[in-house]
Amino acid sequence: MNLRIGKLDKEPEFFPLEAEQIENAAPQEATAIPGGIRLHLKKSKHLLKPASRLKGVIVISPGGGYLLDVPVLQSGRDYTQTRH
């Protein structure tokens, strides 16, 4: 998931609104990209078919977060990637 945001007060954390899309216990690795961050999410082993959208809340500061509803781009890796 690529996010165009400014300075972060804490590591971002994504909470899905739909069950079984990502591995909830897996680390959510954030890396810097020009103009923002990329958050890597591990696809759930219980996902029965590829997800077309990823919906949830991303928390980027102690008091701040955003509701997301973004399309999913399929990848050859074991991660779900989206563009926002």
User: From CA 25, how far away is CA 16, in angstroms rounded?
Assistant: 12
Give the side-chain half-sphere CA count within 13 A for 72.
19
The confidence score (pLDDT) of residue 56 equals: 94
Q: How confident is the model at residue 6 (pLDDT cuts 50, 70, 90)?
A: low
Give me the phi and psi of 79, to 5 degrees please: -130, 150
For 7-53, what is each residue's pLDDT tens digit? 666 788 999 998 888 998 999 988 888 888 888 889 899 888 888 89
User: From CA 76, how far away is CA 65, in angstroms rounded?
Assistant: 29
Residue ranges of the domains in the chain? 2-82
User: From CA 70, how far away is CA 84, in angstroms rounded?
Assistant: 6
Which residue bears the tokens 């919906």? Answer: 55
Q: The whole model's pTM is what?
A: 0.73
The confidence score (pLDDT) of residue 75 equals: 63
